[in-house]
């Protein structure tokens, strides 16, 4: 669960990183725009300043020309005409400059045209006044009228120029105001953005720290787990060695049982068989009886050793699972018991069995033991009838299966019509050396069903016995469906 | 071959078993000459003699002092002049490992020493009436362990 939190955080950090990149891009674009607008405003101020200077120069030039002309008219000295003569060129230059300055301002262009016309008319008026002054015959009243007209024009020019200057100032002020608003808004916004980023940063730092702490704890846990595992591995290794040793011991026990224990027994049996074969004189009927008792005891001992060997073989560590056709295995088991089956006139029916991975010889042993069990505990007067059925069942329906309730199992059932057993002993049947009958009633060592249980457990399966006295018994074997 | 007695050799360290063996052959009505040796070492010494009369059938116990049956089997099958002797393993145990191993090493038949004298006689009689020439051609794991129902 901790790991999931950390992986969620990874998504968080990734998105935070992308978010920061965008914030940085945004802030730098704002700063760039800001500096551009500062440049703009500077250029605008300079522009407007130049326009104003130029207009004022134009006006002063006009005033100079007027003053010069007036001086000439009064004194008739041509020295006074100097500013008037130079004015045309200066004014043209001023107009050129103004036109180029007003290239992006239509209103100003129109105003300039108006101003130009006024200036042209003023110069025409200058020229008329000058002509009238040179001509002595002309009446001073006419000149006066012309000069009044000149003054009137001059006033208009002055007014026009002042209006233009005012307008220029006004527009500058307006733009400066906008600019001011813009640049005063930008720092605030940037600051807020920075502040927000800082908050996110602090949050992320906190999260990272927390994650690092968590990781450290997890790492510690892992280290501990690793150490524990190493420790456990050492224990398991030790246990394995022990197991190996005990397996070797078991093998040597097997060897001893199969060889050394059987040898004296076999000789007892053989000697007795020789005595019984020969008609030795002087042996009484009682002695003969004793000999047959010795023989049956020896035979029983033999059977015990054989069964114990089978049991220990069922215990064996090496388990080779092979895909096996259980029908064949069952046939083989029947073959092994053919003699008994024939003797008892037993009827054995079997359903079609699956082909599954099993330890083949163990499964054969399982069938042999179950069949011989059913054959052995038959009712004296009734021919044994044994049914083997097989179906797939769900674990949940059978309490004996200790597994997931969903898991599927093969249920192999061997049902007989024999003497059955008291239901309360059902559990004990599989205990080693446990018997429900006296030796003289039924032969048996009490090992057969223990072997069955062992074999079924080797296949990760379960076995149960269901029975009722005199009504037969059913042995159910459950093997997992793979 | 029919008129010549069949030469039989038993290597077994157990005195009683040697006795049973000889008695059984005496009771079987087939012309045989039975020799016995007491352990693996004696057996190999006997077989390796210059002028040894090699047996037609050798019965070999597995559990013997000095040299056990498996070692003898291996040596015999790897000695040029001995390798064609028919070998019957004659042992108390019938464990899977022993059967498997002796079969792989080239024994012809495996007998588990029976528990009664009658069965012993039946088994031995069966063994010596086998047509060896035919039987050794196709070694067969299924028939390797000789089983005769007692009584």
Domain boundaries, chain A: 2-212, 319-480
Q: How far apart are CA B116 and CA B20, in angstroms?
A: 10
Torsion of CA A177, A179, A183, A184, to 10 degrees: 10
Q: Using DSSP bridges, classify how beta strands B6-11 and B32-37 pair: parallel, antiparallel or unpaired.
A: parallel
CB distance B115–A255 less than 8 Å? no
pLDDT for the residue A234: 92
More confident residue, A384 or A185: A384
List the Cα angle A83/A86/A88 in 5-degree steps.
115
Helix A140-255 with A285-315: angle, nearest 10 deg? 160
User: Can you give the pLDDT at residue A226?
Assistant: 93
**C-alpha separations of B94 from A369, B59, B99, B115, B147 in Å:** 20, 15, 7, 13, 11
**In chain A, which residues touch B (CB < 8 A)?**
254-255, 258-259, 262-263, 265-267, 269-270, 272-274, 277, 298-299, 302, 309, 313, 339
Q: Between chain A and chain B, how many beta carbons pairs sit less than 8 Å apart?
A: 45
Q: List, in order, residues 6 or more apart from A136 with CB less than 8 Å away.
A: none
pLDDT in tens, A220-237: 999 999 999 999 999 999
Q: B92 vs A270: CB contact, 8 Å cut-off? A: no
Considering only CB atoms, A273 lies closest to which of B93, B118, B149, namely B118
Q: How far is CA A300 from CA A270, A444, B72, in A?
A: 14, 8, 34
| Residue B123, SS3 per DSSP | helix
Mean pLDDT score of chain A: 83
On whether any CB of chain A is under 8 Å from the CB of B19, the answer is no
Q: What band does A217 get if pLDDT is binned at 50, 70 and 90?
A: very high
| pLDDT-wise least confident of A144-153, A277-286, B84-93 | A277-286
Interval A293-303: pLDDT, tens:
888 888 888 88
Nearest-by-Cβ selection for B115 from A269, A309, A339: A269
Q: How far is CA B111 from the centre of its chain?
A: 8
The 10 Å Cβ neighbour count of residue B150 is: 13
CB contact under 8 A, A254 and B115: no
pLDDT computed for residue A137 by the predictor? 62
Tokens read off for B124: 């031995």
CATH 3.40.30.10 applies to domain B6-146 = no
A103: phi then psi, degrees, rounded to nearest 5: -60, -30
Distance from CA of B134 to the nearest CA of A (A): 27
- Provide CB contacts within 8 A for A433, sequence distance 6+: A445, A446, A447, A450
Note the pLDDT tens digit of each residue in A334-350.
Answer: 888 888 888 888 888 88
pLDDT score at A240: 92
Place of tokens 């120029």: A161
pLDDT of A9 > 60? The answer is yes
Judged against a pLDDT cut of 90, whether residue B50 lies above it is answered with no
Q: Say which CATH architecture domain A319-480 belongs to.
A: 2-Layer Sandwich (3.30)
H or E element that contains B96:
helix B96-104
Proportion of chain A above pLDDT 90, given as a percent: 8
> Interface pTM (ipTM) of the complex?
0.74
Beta bridge partners of B58: B9, B87
Reply yes or no on whether the pLDDT at B148 is more than 60: no
| More reliable by pLDDT, B140 or B46 | B46
Q: Which two tokens stand for residue A128?
A: 């008329």
Can you give the three-state secondary structure of chain A, one letter per residue? CHHHHHHHHHHHHHHHHHHHHHHHHHHHHHHHHHHHHHHHHHHHHHHHHHHHHHHHHHHHHHHHHHHHHHHHHHHCCHHHHHHHHHHHHHHHHHHHHHHHHCCCCHHHHHHHHHHHHHHHHHHHHHHHHHHHHHCCCCCHHHHHHHHHHHHHHHHHHHHHHHHHHHHHHHHHHHHHHHHHHHHHHHHHHHHHHHHHHHHHHHHHHHHHHHHHHHHHHHHHHHHHHHHHHHHHHHHHHHHHHHHHHHHHHHHHHHHHHHHHHHHHHHHHHHHHHHHHHCCCCCCCHHHHHHHHHHHHHHHHHHHHHHHHHHHHHHHCCCCCCEEEEHHHHHHHHHHHCHHHHHHHCCEEEECCCCEEEECHHHHHHHHHHHHHHHHHCCCCCCCCEEEEEEEEEEHHHCCCCCCCCCCEEEEEEEEECCCCCCHHHCCHHHCCCCCCCCCCCCCCCCCHHHHHHHHHHHCCCEEEEEECCCCCEEEEEEEECC
Check pLDDT > 60 for residue B3: no
Q: A80-94, A164-178, A402-416, B133-147: lowest mean pLDDT where?
A: B133-147
Q: Which residue of B has its CA nearest to A263?
A: B92
CB contact under 8 A, B113 and A266: yes
Q: Which residue of A has its CA nearest to B63?
A: A259
Q: Which residues of chain A lie closer than 8 angstroms to B149, CB-CB?
A: 339
Residue B88 pLDDT > 80, yes or no?
yes
What are the chain B neighbours of A302 within 8 Å (beta carbons)?
Answer: 115
Tokens linked to A153: 């024009």
For residue B15, the chain A residue with the least C-alpha distance is: A267
In this structure, are residues A371 and A387 in contact, taking their beta carbons and an 8 Å threshold?
no
Judged by a CB distance cut-off of 8 A, whether residue B13 touches chain A is no
Nearest to A451 by CA among A367, A376, A382: A367
Angle between helices A262-277 and B15-27 in degrees, nearest 10: 30
Whether the pLDDT of residue B144 is over 50: the answer is: yes
Q: How confident is the model at residue A241 (pLDDT cuts 50, 70, 90)?
A: very high
Contact B115 A339 (CB under 8 A): no
CB-closest option in B63, B93, B117 to A270: B117
User: Given a cut of 80, is residue A260 above it in pLDDT?
Assistant: no
User: Is B114 in CB contact (< 8 Å) with chain A?
Assistant: yes
Distance of residue B93 Cα from the nearest chain A Cα, in angstroms: 5
Q: What are phi and psi of A138, to 5 degrees?
A: -70, 145
Domain ranges of chain B: 6-146
Taking CB atoms and an 8 Å limit, are B92 and A258 in contact across chains? yes
Pick the more confident residue, A381 or A185: A381
Q: How far apart are CA A123 and CA A90, in angstroms?
A: 13
Residues in chain A with CB shorter than 8 Å from the CB of B117 are 270, 273-274, 277
Per the structure block, which two tokens stand in for A350? 């079997």
What's the Cα-to-Cα distance from B139 to each of B72, B95, B106, B123, B147, rounded to whole Å?
20, 20, 9, 19, 16
């Amino acid at each position: 669960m901790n790991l999931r939190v950390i992986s969620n955080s990874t998504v968080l950090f990734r998105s935070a990183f992308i978010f920061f990149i965008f914030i940085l891009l945004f802030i730098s674009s704002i700063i760039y725009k800001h500096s551009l607008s500062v440049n703009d405003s500077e250029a605008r101020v300079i522009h407007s300043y130049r326009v104003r200077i130029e207009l004022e120069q134009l006006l002063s030039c006009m005033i100079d020309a007027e003053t010069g002309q007036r001086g000439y008219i009064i004194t008739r000295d041509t020295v006074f005409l100097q500013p008037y003569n130079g004015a045309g060129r200066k004014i043209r230059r001023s107009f050129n400059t103004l036109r180029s300055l007003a290239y992006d301002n239509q209103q100003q262009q129109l105003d300039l045209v108006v101003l130009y016309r006024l200036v042209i008319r003023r110069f025409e008026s200058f020229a008329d006044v000058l002509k009238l002054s040179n001509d002595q015959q002309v009446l001073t009243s006419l000149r006066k009228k012309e000069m009044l007209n000149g003054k009137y024009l001059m006033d208009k020019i002055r007014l026009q120029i002042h209006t233009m200057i005012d307008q220029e100032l006004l527009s500058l002020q307006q733009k400066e105001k906008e600019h001011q608003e813009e640049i005063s808004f930008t720092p605030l916004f940037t600051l807020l953005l920075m502040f927000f980023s800082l908050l996110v940063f602090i949050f992320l730092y906190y999260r990272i720290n927390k994650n690092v702490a968590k990781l450290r704890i997890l790492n510690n846990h892992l280290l501990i787990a690793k150490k524990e595992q190493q420790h456990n591995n050492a224990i398991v290794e030790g246990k394995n060695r022990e197991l190996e040793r005990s397996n070797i011991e078991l093998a040597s026990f097997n060897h001893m049982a199969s060889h050394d224990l059987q040898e004296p027994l076999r000789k007892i049996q053989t000697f007795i068989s020789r005595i019984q074969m020969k008609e030795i004189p002087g042996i009484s009927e009682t002695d003969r009886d004793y000999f047959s008792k010795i023989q049956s005891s020896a035979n029983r001992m033999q059977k015990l050793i054989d069964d114990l060997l089978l049991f220990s073989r069922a215990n064996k560590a090496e388990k080779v699972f092979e895909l096996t056709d259980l029908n064949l295995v069952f046939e083989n088991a029947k073959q092994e018991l053919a003699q008994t089956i024939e003797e008892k006139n037993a009827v054995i029916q079997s359903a079609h069995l699956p082909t599954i991975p099993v330890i083949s010889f163990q499964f054969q042993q399982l069938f042999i033991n179950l069949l011989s069990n059913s054959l052995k505990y038959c009712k004296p007067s009734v021919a044994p009838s044994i049914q083997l059925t097989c179906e797939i069942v769900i674990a949940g329906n059978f309490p004996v299966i200790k597994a997931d309730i969903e898991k599927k199992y093969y249920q192999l059932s061997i049902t007989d019509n024999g003497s059955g057993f008291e239901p309360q002993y059902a559990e004990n049947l599989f205990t080693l050396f446990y018997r429900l009958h006296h030796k003289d009633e039924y032969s048996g060592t009490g090992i057969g069903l223990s072997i069955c249980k062992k074999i079924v457990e080797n296949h990760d399966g379960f076995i149960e016995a269901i029975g009722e006295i005199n009504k037969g018994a059913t042995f159910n074997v459950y093997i997992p469906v793979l | 071959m029919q008129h010549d007695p069949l030469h039989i050799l038993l290597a077994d360290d157990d005195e009683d078993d040697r006795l049973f063996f000889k008695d059984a052959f005496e009771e079987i009505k087939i012309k045989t000459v039975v020799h016995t040796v007491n352990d693996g070492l004696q057996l190999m010494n006997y077989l390796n003699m210059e002028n040894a009369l090699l047996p037609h059938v050798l019965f070999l116990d597995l559990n013997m002092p000095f040299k056990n049956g498996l070692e003898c089997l291996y040596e015999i099958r790897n000695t040029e002049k001995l390798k064609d002797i028919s070998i019957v393993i004659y042992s108390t145990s019938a464990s899977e490992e022993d059967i498997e191993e002796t079969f792989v090493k080239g024994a012809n038949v495996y007998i588990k020493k029976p528990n009664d004298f009658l069965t012993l006689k039946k088994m031995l009689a069966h063994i010596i009436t086998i047509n060896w020439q035919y039987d050794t051609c196709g070694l067969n794991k299924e028939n390797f362990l000789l089983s005769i129902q007692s009584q």
